[in-house]
Amino acid sequence: MAQVKLTTPLDEATVRGLTAGDEVLISGTIYTGRDAVHKHLHDGGALPAGVDFSGGIVYHCGPVVVEREPGADGRRRFTVTAAGPTTSIREEPYQAGLIARYGLRGVIGKGGMGLKTLQACREHGAVYLHAIGGAAQVYADCITGVEDVHLEEFGSPEAIWVLRVVDFPAIVTMDAHGGSLHEVVQADSLDRLQAALAGS
Amino acid sequence: MPDTLSASLLDLIRRTSSDLPADIRRALQSGREKEARGSRALLALDTIDCNIGTAEAESAPICQDTGMIKFYVHHPVGYDTLRFEESARAAVAEGTAIGYLRQNSVDSLTGKNTGNNLGPGTPLFHFQAWRRPDVDVRLMLKGGGCENVGAQYSLPMEFPELGKKAGRDAEGVKLAVLHAIWKAQGKGCAPGYIGVCVGGDRASGLEVAKEQLLRVVGDTNPDPALAALEDECARIANGLGIGPMGFGGDTTVLAVKIAARNRLPASFFVSVSYACWAHRRRGVVLDPATDAITGWLYETPDEAAPDAGH
Protein backbone atom coordinates (compact mmCIF):
# COMPACT_ATOMS: atom_id res chain seq x y z
CA MET A 1 0.00 0.00 0.00
CA ALA A 2 1.72 3.12 -1.26
CA GLN A 3 1.10 6.52 0.29
CA VAL A 4 0.83 9.37 -2.23
CA LYS A 5 0.46 13.12 -1.69
CA LEU A 6 -1.90 14.77 -4.15
CA THR A 7 -2.30 18.52 -4.76
CA THR A 8 -5.17 19.99 -6.78
CA PRO A 9 -5.61 20.59 -9.65
CA LEU A 10 -4.64 17.04 -10.60
CA ASP A 11 -3.11 16.17 -13.97
CA GLU A 12 -3.92 13.03 -15.91
CA ALA A 13 -0.49 11.40 -15.49
CA THR A 14 -0.64 11.66 -11.70
CA VAL A 15 -4.09 10.17 -11.59
CA ARG A 16 -3.19 7.32 -13.96
CA GLY A 17 -0.23 6.55 -11.70
CA LEU A 18 -2.56 5.57 -8.85
CA THR A 19 -3.64 2.01 -8.14
CA ALA A 20 -6.66 0.73 -6.21
CA GLY A 21 -5.52 0.23 -2.63
CA ASP A 22 -3.17 3.25 -2.51
CA GLU A 23 -3.49 5.64 0.39
CA VAL A 24 -3.55 9.33 -0.58
CA LEU A 25 -3.32 12.65 1.27
CA ILE A 26 -5.09 15.43 -0.63
CA SER A 27 -4.25 19.13 -0.39
CA GLY A 28 -5.66 22.12 -2.27
CA THR A 29 -9.23 23.05 -3.17
CA ILE A 30 -12.11 20.57 -3.29
CA TYR A 31 -15.82 21.09 -3.99
CA THR A 32 -18.65 19.43 -2.12
CA GLY A 33 -21.53 18.19 -4.20
CA ARG A 34 -24.19 15.63 -3.54
CA ASP A 35 -27.64 14.68 -4.79
CA ALA A 36 -29.09 18.09 -5.67
CA VAL A 37 -25.91 19.39 -7.32
CA HIS A 38 -25.42 16.23 -9.38
CA LYS A 39 -29.02 16.20 -10.55
CA HIS A 40 -28.89 19.94 -11.32
CA LEU A 41 -25.79 19.60 -13.50
CA HIS A 42 -27.04 16.41 -15.12
CA ASP A 43 -30.31 18.14 -16.04
CA GLY A 44 -28.37 20.86 -17.86
CA GLY A 45 -28.03 23.36 -15.02
CA ALA A 46 -25.05 25.70 -15.19
CA LEU A 47 -21.94 25.22 -13.11
CA PRO A 48 -21.81 28.38 -10.97
CA ALA A 49 -19.23 31.00 -11.93
CA GLY A 50 -16.16 30.54 -9.78
CA VAL A 51 -16.41 26.75 -9.69
CA ASP A 52 -13.74 25.04 -11.81
CA PHE A 53 -14.08 21.27 -11.94
CA SER A 54 -11.25 20.88 -14.48
CA GLY A 55 -8.58 18.73 -12.84
CA GLY A 56 -10.69 19.07 -9.75
CA ILE A 57 -12.12 16.86 -7.07
CA VAL A 58 -15.77 16.68 -6.08
CA TYR A 59 -16.47 15.55 -2.55
CA HIS A 60 -19.73 13.72 -1.82
CA CYS A 61 -20.38 15.46 1.46
CA GLY A 62 -23.11 17.42 3.16
CA PRO A 63 -21.14 19.26 5.81
CA VAL A 64 -22.40 20.83 9.02
CA VAL A 65 -21.51 24.49 8.54
CA VAL A 66 -21.96 27.31 11.03
CA GLU A 67 -21.98 30.89 9.73
CA ARG A 68 -19.89 33.31 11.79
CA GLU A 69 -20.00 37.11 11.93
CA PRO A 70 -18.96 38.63 8.58
CA GLY A 71 -15.31 39.66 8.24
CA ALA A 72 -14.08 43.27 8.26
CA ASP A 73 -14.38 43.20 4.44
CA GLY A 74 -18.06 42.27 4.72
CA ARG A 75 -17.47 38.78 3.34
CA ARG A 76 -19.44 35.92 4.81
CA ARG A 77 -17.41 33.61 7.01
CA PHE A 78 -18.09 29.97 7.82
CA THR A 79 -16.78 27.23 10.05
CA VAL A 80 -17.18 23.61 9.04
CA THR A 81 -17.92 21.62 12.18
CA ALA A 82 -18.39 18.16 10.61
CA ALA A 83 -17.54 17.01 7.11
CA GLY A 84 -17.37 13.27 6.49
CA PRO A 85 -18.30 11.56 3.21
CA THR A 86 -21.81 10.55 2.19
CA THR A 87 -22.82 7.44 0.24
CA SER A 88 -21.64 7.84 -3.35
CA ILE A 89 -23.69 5.28 -5.22
CA ARG A 90 -26.65 7.69 -5.29
CA GLU A 91 -24.71 9.76 -7.82
CA GLU A 92 -24.01 6.79 -10.09
CA PRO A 93 -26.54 7.92 -12.75
CA TYR A 94 -24.79 11.32 -13.01
CA GLN A 95 -21.11 10.90 -12.12
CA ALA A 96 -19.76 9.56 -15.41
CA GLY A 97 -21.33 12.44 -17.33
CA LEU A 98 -19.80 15.00 -14.98
CA ILE A 99 -16.35 13.42 -15.23
CA ALA A 100 -16.58 13.53 -19.03
CA ARG A 101 -18.04 17.02 -19.32
CA TYR A 102 -16.00 18.92 -16.75
CA GLY A 103 -12.76 16.95 -16.62
CA LEU A 104 -13.05 15.97 -12.97
CA ARG A 105 -10.01 13.91 -11.90
CA GLY A 106 -11.24 12.72 -8.56
CA VAL A 107 -14.39 11.84 -6.71
CA ILE A 108 -14.28 11.50 -2.92
CA GLY A 109 -17.05 9.65 -1.14
CA LYS A 110 -17.84 6.39 0.55
CA GLY A 111 -19.18 3.00 -0.41
CA GLY A 112 -17.75 2.99 -3.93
CA MET A 113 -19.54 3.49 -7.25
CA GLY A 114 -20.76 1.43 -10.19
CA LEU A 115 -19.56 0.23 -13.54
CA LYS A 116 -20.51 3.41 -15.39
CA THR A 117 -18.29 5.52 -13.15
CA LEU A 118 -15.50 2.95 -13.26
CA GLN A 119 -15.55 3.10 -17.07
CA ALA A 120 -15.55 6.91 -17.03
CA CYS A 121 -12.52 6.83 -14.70
CA ARG A 122 -10.69 4.61 -17.17
CA GLU A 123 -11.72 6.53 -20.25
CA HIS A 124 -11.08 10.05 -18.97
CA GLY A 125 -8.41 9.49 -16.32
CA ALA A 126 -10.08 9.83 -12.95
CA VAL A 127 -10.11 7.98 -9.63
CA TYR A 128 -12.58 7.26 -6.87
CA LEU A 129 -11.18 8.13 -3.46
CA HIS A 130 -12.80 6.43 -0.49
CA ALA A 131 -12.84 8.51 2.68
CA ILE A 132 -13.46 7.02 6.11
CA GLY A 133 -17.21 7.16 6.58
CA GLY A 134 -18.32 8.87 9.75
CA ALA A 135 -14.95 10.48 10.46
CA ALA A 136 -16.55 13.92 10.31
CA GLN A 137 -14.19 15.53 12.83
CA VAL A 138 -10.98 14.23 11.30
CA TYR A 139 -12.07 15.68 7.97
CA ALA A 140 -13.32 18.93 9.48
CA ASP A 141 -9.81 19.31 10.94
CA CYS A 142 -8.31 18.87 7.45
CA ILE A 143 -10.36 21.84 6.19
CA THR A 144 -8.35 24.99 6.67
CA GLY A 145 -10.86 27.36 5.13
CA VAL A 146 -14.18 27.82 3.38
CA GLU A 147 -13.55 29.88 0.25
CA ASP A 148 -17.10 30.20 -1.01
CA VAL A 149 -20.52 28.63 -1.25
CA HIS A 150 -22.75 28.20 -4.30
CA LEU A 151 -26.28 26.92 -4.89
CA GLU A 152 -27.21 27.53 -1.28
CA GLU A 153 -30.85 27.46 -2.36
CA PHE A 154 -30.57 23.64 -2.37
CA GLY A 155 -30.11 23.76 1.42
CA SER A 156 -26.86 23.82 3.32
CA PRO A 157 -25.92 20.12 3.05
CA GLU A 158 -26.71 20.14 -0.70
CA ALA A 159 -24.82 23.30 -1.65
CA ILE A 160 -21.41 23.47 -3.35
CA TRP A 161 -18.96 24.38 -0.59
CA VAL A 162 -15.51 25.39 -1.83
CA LEU A 163 -13.09 24.00 0.74
CA ARG A 164 -9.33 24.42 1.25
CA VAL A 165 -7.92 21.15 2.58
CA VAL A 166 -4.55 19.93 3.81
CA ASP A 167 -3.55 16.24 3.97
CA PHE A 168 -7.07 14.91 3.62
CA PRO A 169 -6.72 11.09 3.94
CA ALA A 170 -8.47 8.64 1.60
CA ILE A 171 -7.96 5.28 -0.11
CA VAL A 172 -8.05 4.86 -3.88
CA THR A 173 -10.67 2.15 -4.31
CA MET A 174 -11.40 2.62 -8.03
CA ASP A 175 -8.48 3.49 -10.28
CA ALA A 176 -8.09 4.72 -13.87
CA HIS A 177 -7.21 1.23 -15.14
CA GLY A 178 -10.49 -0.46 -14.28
CA GLY A 179 -9.24 -1.72 -10.92
CA SER A 180 -11.76 -1.78 -8.07
CA LEU A 181 -11.04 -2.76 -4.49
CA HIS A 182 -14.81 -3.07 -3.98
CA GLU A 183 -15.09 -5.79 -6.61
CA VAL A 184 -12.14 -7.67 -5.12
CA VAL A 185 -13.51 -7.59 -1.55
CA GLN A 186 -17.03 -8.44 -2.66
CA ALA A 187 -15.92 -11.49 -4.62
CA ASP A 188 -13.54 -12.66 -1.89
CA SER A 189 -16.17 -12.25 0.83
CA LEU A 190 -18.67 -14.25 -1.23
CA ASP A 191 -16.16 -17.10 -1.54
CA ARG A 192 -15.61 -17.02 2.19
CA LEU A 193 -19.33 -16.94 2.95
CA GLN A 194 -19.99 -19.90 0.69
CA ALA A 195 -17.17 -21.80 2.39
CA ALA A 196 -18.51 -20.96 5.87
CA LEU A 197 -21.96 -22.20 4.87
CA ALA A 198 -20.72 -25.28 3.02
CA GLY A 199 -21.30 -27.56 5.98
CA SER A 200 -24.73 -26.24 6.78
CA MET B 1 -34.59 27.40 26.01
CA PRO B 2 -37.24 28.14 28.67
CA ASP B 3 -38.07 24.80 30.28
CA THR B 4 -35.99 22.25 32.18
CA LEU B 5 -37.19 19.35 30.05
CA SER B 6 -35.92 20.98 26.86
CA ALA B 7 -32.60 21.74 28.54
CA SER B 8 -32.26 18.12 29.69
CA LEU B 9 -33.06 16.82 26.21
CA LEU B 10 -30.67 19.29 24.59
CA ASP B 11 -27.92 17.87 26.76
CA LEU B 12 -28.95 14.37 25.69
CA ILE B 13 -28.78 15.45 22.03
CA ARG B 14 -25.33 17.01 22.52
CA ARG B 15 -23.87 13.92 24.12
CA THR B 16 -25.52 11.49 21.72
CA SER B 17 -24.19 13.33 18.68
CA SER B 18 -20.66 13.87 20.02
CA ASP B 19 -19.77 11.23 22.60
CA LEU B 20 -19.80 7.59 21.46
CA PRO B 21 -21.02 5.13 24.16
CA ALA B 22 -18.53 3.05 26.14
CA ASP B 23 -19.55 -0.34 24.72
CA ILE B 24 -19.10 0.76 21.10
CA ARG B 25 -15.72 2.32 21.89
CA ARG B 26 -14.53 -0.88 23.49
CA ALA B 27 -15.70 -2.99 20.54
CA LEU B 28 -13.88 -0.69 18.09
CA GLN B 29 -10.78 -0.86 20.27
CA SER B 30 -10.74 -4.66 20.18
CA GLY B 31 -11.00 -4.38 16.39
CA ARG B 32 -7.89 -2.19 16.35
CA GLU B 33 -6.03 -4.79 18.38
CA LYS B 34 -6.89 -7.49 15.83
CA GLU B 35 -6.08 -5.75 12.54
CA ALA B 36 -2.62 -6.02 10.98
CA ARG B 37 -0.17 -3.15 11.27
CA GLY B 38 0.01 -1.09 8.07
CA SER B 39 -3.31 -2.45 6.81
CA ARG B 40 -6.08 -0.33 5.32
CA ALA B 41 -8.36 -1.76 8.01
CA LEU B 42 -6.16 -0.37 10.76
CA LEU B 43 -5.83 2.98 8.98
CA ALA B 44 -9.63 3.19 8.95
CA LEU B 45 -9.98 2.18 12.61
CA ASP B 46 -7.20 4.57 13.70
CA THR B 47 -8.92 7.42 11.85
CA ILE B 48 -12.18 6.45 13.52
CA ASP B 49 -10.45 6.41 16.92
CA CYS B 50 -9.01 9.86 16.35
CA ASN B 51 -12.41 11.08 15.22
CA ILE B 52 -14.14 9.79 18.36
CA GLY B 53 -11.67 11.67 20.56
CA THR B 54 -12.01 14.97 18.70
CA ALA B 55 -15.80 14.82 18.60
CA GLU B 56 -16.00 14.26 22.35
CA ALA B 57 -13.46 16.98 23.18
CA GLU B 58 -15.22 19.56 21.01
CA SER B 59 -18.85 18.47 21.57
CA ALA B 60 -19.02 18.27 17.78
CA PRO B 61 -20.95 15.69 15.74
CA ILE B 62 -19.11 12.36 15.41
CA CYS B 63 -20.57 12.11 11.91
CA GLN B 64 -22.05 14.94 9.86
CA ASP B 65 -25.06 12.79 9.13
CA THR B 66 -26.67 13.25 12.51
CA GLY B 67 -29.34 10.91 11.32
CA MET B 68 -32.96 10.15 11.93
CA ILE B 69 -33.72 11.42 15.42
CA LYS B 70 -35.69 8.96 17.48
CA PHE B 71 -36.65 9.20 21.15
CA TYR B 72 -37.55 5.99 23.00
CA VAL B 73 -39.39 6.96 26.18
CA HIS B 74 -40.52 4.77 29.06
CA HIS B 75 -42.68 6.80 31.41
CA PRO B 76 -44.95 6.40 34.45
CA VAL B 77 -48.67 6.01 33.86
CA GLY B 78 -50.26 9.44 33.44
CA TYR B 79 -47.09 11.16 32.18
CA ASP B 80 -47.78 14.00 29.75
CA THR B 81 -46.28 12.72 26.50
CA LEU B 82 -47.61 15.66 24.47
CA ARG B 83 -45.62 18.06 26.62
CA PHE B 84 -42.58 15.80 26.17
CA GLU B 85 -42.97 16.02 22.39
CA GLU B 86 -43.19 19.81 22.51
CA SER B 87 -40.07 20.12 24.64
CA ALA B 88 -38.21 17.58 22.52
CA ARG B 89 -39.05 19.51 19.34
CA ALA B 90 -37.77 22.71 20.92
CA ALA B 91 -34.56 20.93 21.96
CA VAL B 92 -34.09 19.48 18.45
CA ALA B 93 -34.51 22.92 16.84
CA GLU B 94 -32.06 24.43 19.33
CA GLY B 95 -29.57 21.56 18.86
CA THR B 96 -29.74 22.15 15.10
CA ALA B 97 -29.10 25.89 15.47
CA ILE B 98 -26.06 25.18 17.68
CA GLY B 99 -24.71 22.58 15.25
CA TYR B 100 -25.07 19.38 17.33
CA LEU B 101 -27.45 18.27 14.58
CA ARG B 102 -27.31 18.86 10.83
CA GLN B 103 -30.30 20.32 8.98
CA ASN B 104 -31.56 16.90 8.09
CA SER B 105 -35.32 16.94 7.53
CA VAL B 106 -36.46 17.37 3.93
CA ASP B 107 -39.81 17.17 2.18
CA SER B 108 -39.91 13.73 0.59
CA LEU B 109 -41.02 14.86 -2.87
CA THR B 110 -39.62 18.38 -3.26
CA GLY B 111 -36.45 17.86 -1.19
CA LYS B 112 -37.03 21.17 0.57
CA ASN B 113 -35.16 21.31 3.86
CA THR B 114 -37.10 22.60 6.88
CA GLY B 115 -33.82 23.86 8.31
CA ASN B 116 -34.52 22.84 11.91
CA ASN B 117 -35.08 19.07 11.76
CA LEU B 118 -38.78 19.53 12.49
CA GLY B 119 -41.38 18.31 10.04
CA PRO B 120 -43.95 15.61 9.41
CA GLY B 121 -42.42 12.46 10.91
CA THR B 122 -39.29 14.13 12.29
CA PRO B 123 -38.24 13.64 15.00
CA LEU B 124 -39.69 10.22 15.82
CA PHE B 125 -41.10 9.19 19.19
CA HIS B 126 -41.79 5.83 20.77
CA PHE B 127 -43.64 6.05 24.08
CA GLN B 128 -44.29 3.19 26.43
CA ALA B 129 -45.77 3.37 29.92
CA TRP B 130 -44.26 1.35 32.73
CA ARG B 131 -44.98 0.91 36.43
CA ARG B 132 -41.90 2.74 37.58
CA PRO B 133 -41.74 6.27 38.95
CA ASP B 134 -38.95 7.53 36.68
CA VAL B 135 -38.72 8.46 33.01
CA ASP B 136 -36.17 6.60 30.86
CA VAL B 137 -35.31 8.48 27.64
CA ARG B 138 -33.08 6.96 25.01
CA LEU B 139 -32.10 8.83 21.90
CA MET B 140 -30.82 7.18 18.74
CA LEU B 141 -29.31 9.15 15.85
CA LYS B 142 -29.09 6.78 12.90
CA GLY B 143 -27.62 8.02 9.65
CA GLY B 144 -28.92 7.42 6.14
CA GLY B 145 -25.98 5.42 4.78
CA CYS B 146 -26.52 2.54 7.18
CA GLU B 147 -30.29 2.83 7.15
CA ASN B 148 -30.19 2.29 3.40
CA VAL B 149 -28.49 -1.11 3.72
CA GLY B 150 -31.10 -2.51 6.11
CA ALA B 151 -33.17 -5.40 4.74
CA GLN B 152 -36.26 -7.47 5.24
CA TYR B 153 -36.61 -11.06 4.05
CA SER B 154 -39.73 -13.15 3.73
CA LEU B 155 -38.77 -16.80 4.22
CA PRO B 156 -38.58 -19.24 2.57
CA MET B 157 -36.34 -17.51 0.06
CA GLU B 158 -33.71 -18.46 -2.52
CA PHE B 159 -30.28 -16.85 -2.29
CA PRO B 160 -28.85 -17.52 -5.76
CA GLU B 161 -25.45 -15.92 -4.89
CA LEU B 162 -25.05 -18.34 -1.99
CA GLY B 163 -26.50 -21.33 -3.82
CA LYS B 164 -28.81 -21.81 -0.82
CA LYS B 165 -32.44 -21.69 0.11
CA ALA B 166 -33.31 -20.14 3.46
CA GLY B 167 -36.06 -22.09 5.19
CA ARG B 168 -38.30 -21.13 8.09
CA ASP B 169 -35.89 -22.10 10.83
CA ALA B 170 -32.78 -20.91 12.68
CA GLU B 171 -30.57 -21.89 9.74
CA GLY B 172 -32.73 -19.78 7.43
CA VAL B 173 -32.47 -16.82 9.79
CA LYS B 174 -28.68 -17.19 9.81
CA LEU B 175 -28.57 -17.19 5.99
CA ALA B 176 -30.73 -14.06 5.79
CA VAL B 177 -28.67 -12.15 8.37
CA LEU B 178 -25.38 -13.09 6.74
CA HIS B 179 -26.74 -12.26 3.29
CA ALA B 180 -27.68 -8.77 4.54
CA ILE B 181 -24.21 -8.23 6.03
CA TRP B 182 -22.49 -9.51 2.88
CA LYS B 183 -24.72 -7.44 0.61
CA ALA B 184 -23.99 -4.30 2.65
CA GLN B 185 -20.19 -4.75 2.26
CA GLY B 186 -18.70 -1.51 3.63
CA LYS B 187 -21.60 0.65 2.44
CA GLY B 188 -23.23 0.94 5.85
CA CYS B 189 -19.93 2.23 7.30
CA ALA B 190 -18.67 -1.08 8.62
CA PRO B 191 -17.93 -2.30 11.23
CA GLY B 192 -21.68 -2.37 11.77
CA TYR B 193 -23.91 -3.06 14.73
CA ILE B 194 -26.64 -5.41 13.58
CA GLY B 195 -30.19 -5.56 14.98
CA VAL B 196 -32.45 -8.40 13.87
CA CYS B 197 -36.05 -9.36 14.48
CA VAL B 198 -37.41 -12.78 13.59
CA GLY B 199 -41.16 -12.71 13.11
CA GLY B 200 -43.71 -9.99 13.74
CA ASP B 201 -45.32 -8.34 10.75
CA ARG B 202 -43.35 -6.23 8.27
CA ALA B 203 -43.74 -3.00 10.24
CA SER B 204 -43.16 -4.37 13.74
CA GLY B 205 -40.29 -6.53 12.50
CA LEU B 206 -38.23 -3.56 11.37
CA GLU B 207 -39.23 -1.62 14.47
CA VAL B 208 -38.07 -4.37 16.82
CA ALA B 209 -34.91 -4.96 14.77
CA LYS B 210 -33.99 -1.30 15.28
CA GLU B 211 -34.82 -1.54 18.99
CA GLN B 212 -32.18 -4.26 19.35
CA LEU B 213 -29.63 -1.55 18.59
CA LEU B 214 -30.45 -0.12 22.03
CA ARG B 215 -28.87 -3.21 23.60
CA VAL B 216 -25.23 -3.05 24.68
CA VAL B 217 -22.52 -5.03 22.90
CA GLY B 218 -21.69 -7.20 25.90
CA ASP B 219 -25.18 -8.24 27.01
CA THR B 220 -26.35 -11.84 26.78
CA ASN B 221 -29.59 -12.75 25.12
CA PRO B 222 -31.79 -14.50 27.72
CA ASP B 223 -32.96 -16.93 25.03
CA PRO B 224 -30.10 -19.45 24.62
CA ALA B 225 -31.09 -20.31 21.04
CA LEU B 226 -31.01 -16.64 20.00
CA ALA B 227 -27.79 -16.08 21.97
CA ALA B 228 -26.14 -18.91 20.02
CA LEU B 229 -27.44 -17.51 16.74
CA GLU B 230 -26.11 -14.05 17.58
CA ASP B 231 -22.64 -15.45 18.31
CA GLU B 232 -22.56 -17.59 15.18
CA CYS B 233 -23.68 -14.78 12.87
CA ALA B 234 -21.07 -12.42 14.35
CA ARG B 235 -18.31 -15.04 14.12
CA ILE B 236 -19.01 -15.86 10.46
CA ALA B 237 -19.50 -12.18 9.55
CA ASN B 238 -16.11 -11.29 10.98
CA GLY B 239 -14.52 -14.05 8.89
CA LEU B 240 -15.80 -12.65 5.59
CA GLY B 241 -12.88 -10.25 5.13
CA ILE B 242 -15.07 -7.23 4.43
CA GLY B 243 -13.51 -5.16 7.19
CA PRO B 244 -13.85 -1.50 8.15
CA MET B 245 -15.34 0.54 5.28
CA GLY B 246 -15.18 -2.60 3.13
CA PHE B 247 -11.40 -2.12 2.74
CA GLY B 248 -10.80 -5.74 3.77
CA GLY B 249 -9.99 -6.94 7.29
CA ASP B 250 -11.29 -8.87 10.28
CA THR B 251 -13.62 -6.29 11.84
CA THR B 252 -16.88 -6.39 9.88
CA VAL B 253 -19.45 -6.29 12.68
CA LEU B 254 -19.26 -5.14 16.29
CA ALA B 255 -22.15 -7.35 17.38
CA VAL B 256 -25.32 -9.03 16.14
CA LYS B 257 -28.41 -8.73 18.37
CA ILE B 258 -31.47 -10.84 17.59
CA ALA B 259 -35.01 -10.78 19.04
CA ALA B 260 -38.00 -12.93 18.15
CA ARG B 261 -41.66 -11.94 18.02
CA ASN B 262 -44.62 -14.18 17.39
CA ARG B 263 -45.77 -14.24 13.80
CA LEU B 264 -48.76 -15.41 11.83
CA PRO B 265 -48.48 -19.03 10.74
CA ALA B 266 -48.42 -17.77 7.14
CA SER B 267 -45.57 -15.24 7.56
CA PHE B 268 -41.89 -15.53 8.46
CA PHE B 269 -40.02 -12.25 8.26
CA VAL B 270 -36.39 -11.67 9.10
CA SER B 271 -35.84 -7.93 9.51
CA VAL B 272 -32.33 -6.50 9.68
CA SER B 273 -31.37 -3.03 10.87
CA TYR B 274 -27.75 -2.06 10.22
CA ALA B 275 -26.14 0.67 12.34
CA CYS B 276 -22.80 2.16 11.32
CA TRP B 277 -19.73 2.08 13.60
CA ALA B 278 -20.75 5.56 14.79
CA HIS B 279 -23.64 3.99 16.64
CA ARG B 280 -25.02 6.95 18.49
CA ARG B 281 -27.46 6.11 21.23
CA ARG B 282 -27.45 7.55 24.69
CA GLY B 283 -29.98 7.69 27.49
CA VAL B 284 -30.95 9.62 30.57
CA VAL B 285 -33.17 9.01 33.55
CA LEU B 286 -35.39 11.98 34.32
CA ASP B 287 -37.21 12.94 37.50
CA PRO B 288 -40.79 13.44 36.24
CA ALA B 289 -41.46 16.08 38.90
CA THR B 290 -38.54 18.37 37.98
CA ASP B 291 -37.56 17.12 34.46
CA ALA B 292 -33.94 17.16 35.65
CA ILE B 293 -31.47 14.47 34.63
CA THR B 294 -30.85 12.08 37.54
CA GLY B 295 -28.60 9.64 35.68
CA TRP B 296 -27.01 8.72 32.36
CA LEU B 297 -27.30 5.35 30.61
CA TYR B 298 -24.64 3.64 28.44
CA GLU B 299 -21.86 5.01 30.65
CA THR B 300 -20.13 1.64 31.12
CA PRO B 301 -19.49 -1.02 28.48
CA ASP B 302 -21.57 -3.67 30.24
CA GLU B 303 -24.57 -1.68 31.33
CA ALA B 304 -27.69 -3.51 30.26
CA ALA B 305 -30.56 -1.71 28.60
CA PRO B 306 -33.70 -2.79 30.48
CA ASP B 307 -36.83 -3.40 28.44
CA ALA B 308 -35.00 -2.81 25.18
CA GLY B 309 -36.74 -5.54 23.34
CA HIS B 310 -36.65 -8.70 25.42
- Rounded distance between C-alpha atoms, residue B162 and residue B179, angstroms: 8
Instruction: Say if the Cβ atoms of B187 and A111 lie within 8 Å.
Output: yes
Which is more confidently placed, B207 or A65? Answer: B207
Domain count, chain A: 1
The reply to whether B36 falls in a domain is no
Count up the domains in chain B and report the number.
2
Q: Tell which of A23, A32, A61, A64 to mutate to test the B interface (max B CBs under 10 Å).
A: A64
In a shared domain, residues B109 and B209: no
Are residues B63 and B155 located together in one domain of the fold? no
Residue-number span of the structural domain to which B184 is assigned: 146-275
Residue B166 lies in a domain: yes
What are the beta bridge partners of residue B119?
B122
pLDDT (0 to 100) of residue B308: 42
Across chain B, what does the average pLDDT equal?
95
One domain, residues B259 and B129: no
Closest to A171 (Cβ–Cβ): which among B51, B148, B247?
B247
Indicate yes or no: CB of A138 within 8 angstroms of CB of B178. Answer: no
pLDDT at B302 over 90: no
Same domain for B114 and B153, yes or no, is no
DSSP B179-240: HHHHHHTTTTTSSEEEEEEEES-HHHHHHHHHHGGGS-TT---SSHHHHHHHHHHHHHHTTS
Answer whether A107's CB lies under 8 Å from A95's CB: yes
Range(s) of the domain holding residue A17: 3-197
- Alpha carbon separation from B37 to A25, A48, A126, B46, B246 (Å, rounded): 19, 44, 29, 11, 17
Claim to verify: residue B137 and residue B150 sit in the same structural domain: no
State the complex-level ipTM: 0.93
Is the same domain home to B182 and B254?
yes
- Quick one: B65 and B184 in the same domain? no
| B235 falls within a domain | yes
Residues B171 and B136 in one domain: no
CA distance B43 to chain A (A): 9
| Inside any domain, residue B53 | no
* pLDDT over 80 (residue A36): yes
B242 Cα distance to chain centroid: 20
B126-145 per-position pLDDT tens digit? 999 999 999 999 999 999 99
Question: What distance in Å separates residue A75's CA from the closest CA in chain B?
Answer: 21
pLDDT single digits (tens) B170-183: 999 999 999 999 99
Longest dimension (CA), chain A: 71
- Let me know if residue B215 belongs to a domain: yes
Based on the fold, state whether residues B8 and B115 are members of the same structural domain: yes
Quick count: other Cβ atoms within 10 Å of Cβ A88?
26
Which of A137, A153, A171 would best serve as a mutation to test chain B binding (most B beta carbons within 10 A)? A137
Which residue does chain B place closest to A137, by CA atoms?
B51
**CA angle, A135 as apex, B275 and A137 as ends, to 5°?**
130
State whether B125 and B178 are in the same domain.
Answer: no
Domain CATH number, residue A65: 3.20.130.10
In this structure, are B131 and B157 located in the same domain?
A: no
